[in-house]
Amino acid sequence: MTWIFLHGLGQAPSAWQPVLRRLEPELTVHCPSLSELAAGDPRYPALLSALETALDSIPGPLHLCGLSLGGVLAMDYALRHPERVASLVLCGTPLTMPRNLLRLQDFLFRLMPERAFAGSGFSREAMRQLAGSMAELDLRPRLPELGCPVLVLCGSKDRANRKAARELAEQLPQARLHWIAGAGHEANLDSPEVMAELLRSFYQSLS
């Protein structure tokens, strides 16, 4: 079995290290770089396709864990390749992309200097293209197709994704929902100890 950790937009693969170093060292772990996968085309469909190609070469079954955009990609991949996915962990993961939020985000991106995007691996224009390409994304109608065990995590201060977390838990009878007290959207950085313990407990329950 292989564990795949997908970071959020604006993060790098290293954002998972505070969590991973608290998990079992013998786990076979891969942390793909979303900016590298999106190097040829930053739009969401191309990014998902590049992720599919990357994961095709990794022995399954796969345990997918994603934060934010990483969670969206993990869920989308599981819907397309259910036979490859053993479990899903979705942290701070939206189900739709509100147009008002996307417009505000795009406005802010245009105001930010290029250097502000350096840590993400994406240029400002690539970030705008990726965000804009997700405007029509809505995974809610396909939720009943998810049959694998699911752990839904959300920081108690992540207001933007509380509703989606509740909806995931309500729509997926096999899902478990945990709120991470005091954590914001980037729970892997805000509360790595708590997140690692929740992951450990979840994965042990699957064995």
Q: Any idea what DSSP says for residue 101?
A: H
Question: With b meaning 16 or more CB within 10 Å and e meaning fewer, what string describes 34-51?
Answer: bbebbeebbbbebbbebb
Q: By C-alpha distance, which of 49, 65, 38, 16 is closest to 128? A: 38
pLDDT at 111: 67
What dihedral angle (degrees, nearest 10) is formed by the CA atoms of 158, 139, 46, 89? 50
Q: Please say if the pLDDT value at position 165 is more than 90.
A: yes
Q: 2-206 maps to which CATH number?
A: 3.40.50.1820
User: Count of CB atoms within 10 A of residue 116's CB?
Assistant: 14
Q: Please state which of the ranges 46-50, 104-108, 159-163, 199-203 shows the lowest mean pLDDT.
A: 104-108
pLDDT at 181: 98
Highest mean pLDDT among 12-26, 88-102, 111-125, 146-160: 146-160
Residues with Cβ < 8 Å from 121, sequence gap 6 or more?
12, 33, 34, 35, 36
Q: Please say if the pLDDT value at position 196 is more than 70.
A: yes
pLDDT at 100: 65
pTM comes to: 0.91
What three-state secondary structure class fits 107?
helix
Query: Which residue carries 């396909």 as its tokens?
Result: 142
Q: Please say if the pLDDT value at position 58 is more than 70.
A: yes
The C-alpha atoms of residue 196 and residue 53 are separated, in whole angstroms, by 28
Average pLDDT over residues 132-136: 85
pLDDT at 94: 93
The C-alpha atoms of residue 97 and residue 29 are separated, in whole angstroms, by 29
CB 204 within 8 A of CB 26: no
User: Confidence class of residue 188 from pLDDT cuts 50, 70 and 90?
Assistant: very high
The C-alpha atoms of residue 109 and residue 107 are separated, in whole angstroms, by 5
Q: Please say if the pLDDT value at position 97 is more than 90.
A: no
Q: Please state which of the ranges 23-27, 48-52, 88-92, 187-191 shows the lowest mean pLDDT.
A: 23-27
Average pLDDT over residues 121-142: 84
CA torsion sign, 55 to 59 to 61 to 65?
negative
For the chain, give every domain's residue range: 2-206
pLDDT at 27: 83
pLDDT at 83: 96
Q: Please say if the pLDDT value at position 117 is more than 70.
A: no
